[in-house]
Structure 1
Amino acid sequence: MAFTLLRTAFEPYVDIPFNVWLTIILILTYGCALRNPRLLLLIVLGVSATIFVFNTTATLGEMIKTMCLLPLGLGSILAFLVADRSLQARFLPAFTTYVNFAVYANIGMMVGTPAGGTLRGMCSKIACVALFVWIVQQGHRVGWKTVMVHNNLFVFTAVSKSWIFAHACYRFVLLTLPCFGSGRRHRLLELYSLTLTFALSSTSKLPFEYFFGMADTLVVPAIAGWSAIATTFNLIPRDTVNDNLLSSRIGTGADAFLGAVSLAVAAFAFHRDEVHEDDELF
């Protein structure tokens, strides 16, 4: 009875069957990333090929996004990690440049997310700019030497723990915008990303913030890939909840509150930038 009530309460906001299977997929992905990255690379390439061949309902934009996340994103990272150590040492500068471009471009391009006529959408643009400036400054401080390889994982060292949590708040608000539809399949994105960051950090005995890049590189493609596969082969019930349901439930008051959250993230980001700049003066 209690489970039924709980499911009824969460069903409008979270696609429960999708996320149950996604949790299992992420657990297996985590295990493969640590113990058998070559197998994970083969799975990524196989899933990518399957989506490309059989997913005939995706738009060109959706297909390009999926391919960028899976074979070009996660696949390229795994290909480098399973390469011979001598090749890793030789091409680490080029790999670092690739990762830097992917990280900074991915964050910066989100400023173009349609606001959908909402206050929170406009405020999210300000937060995006602030977070982009902040993380670029962190990369600049280390001379853009942001990547190292540790135990078959890539470590992004030029991001702070405070930036990660500020970004989580920003992205949570961002995913409520009308352009993301009902958002039921990716509502728990931040929970997955932060949990996997903590798991990788605990296993590797390195700082939490070092593994946000690797965790997000695993989580986001997993969500995109599983969503495409589930839709293509109708493996779970389709998301029949009206795309406008969440948007209709976010009234003027909630929109203003979420906008204030985004502005608070922006203010915090700009404040942190000023603190670091003052520190450098001394």
Structure 2
Amino acid sequence: MMLNGQGADLSLLIWNSSISILVFSFVCYLATFRQTVLFTLTITLSLLVTVQFSFQPSFDSISIMGFSKLMLLLPLGLGVILGFGLFSESIQKRFLPLFTLYINFAVLANIFAMMFAPSGDTYRGVFSRITCFTLLIWLVQEMAKVNFQTTHMDSKMFLFRSSPLHWIYCHAAYRMALLSLPTFASIRFILLEPFSLIAMVVLYHWHNKRYPLYYYFGFADTIAVTTLTVLARYPVLPPFPSKGPYFPNLQEYQWDMVFLPIQFLVTGFALWAIFQNLSVKRSIPIENPSKLSAR
């Protein structure tokens, strides 16, 4: 937490941002070149979190929700993706439909759950539910274009094929507004959107541009969300006392004035995309992965 009555602590912001960048860069490297190591670290951390939670003297709704979120992100999120990539190609082909069904459910359920994020008595918080709903419908349409066969594995690299770049950019703008709500009090998450987009480009290049850029967003976003959530739960404390300088935080109505126009634009574009998809009314043939890899 970097907010107090005086505003945001700039020194803490720089420290936490630096730590986040270093850790995230390391995780991206492992996700591309050392998936087995990252899978081992993910499962080990999951076990440590479970043991720590089990030995708590008392349980409340906040601790239970925090533990549940980490379990969804670590073993049931990043862990599942990495673990599936470690199987042989024959096993991957055999269980790909089941894996795809799991991923589709997880993606849609996560976005649907965001519709119920506390609004914090703000206009942007209320309107974010409308924006989220339009993005959800748009994504379902994109998934339907490939008959919900949305996933592919190539050299242990997880690829999600149904989030076009326009949707990714709209989702980034929507989530920036969402993360400005009082519920998300840590400024650490200010790095989430840059991390997701940069990691998408990095994975794309590290994977030798074998597939379209947007195929890498699902994996990149999973890495970004998981890394920042773990660092928010277990922060690396600075070796110096926190004494500022501080910069003032905006009032909630001021944040509304900043993000409501962005939400209007995102919602409008999402509605346009939805109606465009409805007007086309045709299925897009599923591309052959071997042809894509030749690009």
Shorter-chain TM range is 0.7 to 0.9
TM-superposition CA deviations, 1:15-64 (whole Å, max 9, x none): 32222112111111111111111110001111222222236597111011
Letter in 2 for 1:221: T
- Of 100, 115, 123, the residue aligned with 1:96 is 100
Asked whether the 8 Å contact 1:192–1:219 carries over to 2, the reply is yes
Matched, 1:62 2:66: yes
Match of 2:275 in 1: 274
Match of 2:16 in 1: 18
Letter in 2 for 1:72: L
Q: Distance in 1 between matches of 2:76 and 2:11?
A: 31
| SS of equivalent residue, structure 1 residue 112 | coil
- Of 17, 26, 33, the residue aligned with 1:28 is 26
Matched, 1:216 2:221: yes
Q: Distance in 2 between matches of 1:140 and 1:69?
A: 25
| More displaced 10-residue stretch of structure 1: 199-208 or 57-66 | 57-66
| More displaced 10-residue stretch of structure 1: 64-73 or 258-267 | 258-267
Letter in 2 for 1:191: P
Identity, in percent, stands at: 31
Match of 2:286 in 1: none
Q: Distance in 2 between matches of 1:263 and 1:132?
A: 16
- Of 48, 51, 58, the residue aligned with 1:50 is 48
Match of 1:3 in 2: none
Letter in 2 for 1:23: I
Task: Summarize the alignment of residues 105-254 of structure 1 with structure 2, pairs less than 5 Å apart.
Answer: 105-181=109-185, 183-204=186-207, 205=209, 206-230=211-235, 235-236=237-238, 249-254=250-255
| More displaced 10-residue stretch of structure 1: 201-210 or 185-194 | 201-210
Offset at residue 14 of structure 1 (A)? 7.1
| CA pair 117-239 structure 1, distance change in 2 beyond 3 A | farther
Offset at residue 12 of structure 1 (A)? 5.0
| SS of equivalent residue, structure 2 residue 147 | coil
| More displaced 10-residue stretch of structure 1: 166-175 or 221-230 | 221-230
Offset at residue 251 of structure 1 (A)? 4.6
Asked whether the 8 Å contact 1:47–1:225 carries over to 2, the reply is no
Letter in 1 for 2:188: R
Match of 2:293 in 1: none
- Higher helix content, 1 or 2: 1
Letter in 2 for 1:179: T
| More displaced 10-residue stretch of structure 1: 122-131 or 250-259 | 250-259
Letter in 2 for 1:73: G
For structure 1, the residue ranges without an aligned partner over 5 or more in a row are 1-8
Structure 1 runs of 4+ aligned residues shifted over 3 Å read: 9-14, 54-58, 234-241
Asked whether the 8 Å contact 2:141–2:277 carries over to 1, the reply is no
Asked whether the 8 Å contact 1:139–1:158 carries over to 2, the reply is yes
Q: Distance in 2 between matches of 1:238 and 1:87?
A: 51
Offset at residue 237 of structure 1 (A)? 7.1
Offset at residue 185 of structure 1 (A)? 1.3
Q: Distance in 1 between matches of 2:31 and 2:282?
A: 41
| More displaced 10-residue stretch of structure 1: 209-218 or 49-58 | 49-58
Letter in 2 for 1:109: A
For structure 2, the residue ranges without an aligned partner over 5 or more in a row are 1-6, 284-295
Letter in 2 for 1:275: Q
Q: Distance in 1 between matches of 2:166 and 2:42?
A: 31
Matched, 1:256 2:257: yes
Q: Distance in 2 between matches of 1:13 and 1:176?
A: 20
| CA pair 253-33 structure 1, distance change in 2 beyond 3 A | closer
| CA pair 13-116 structure 1, distance change in 2 beyond 3 A | farther
Q: Distance in 1 between matches of 2:8 and 2:144?
A: 42
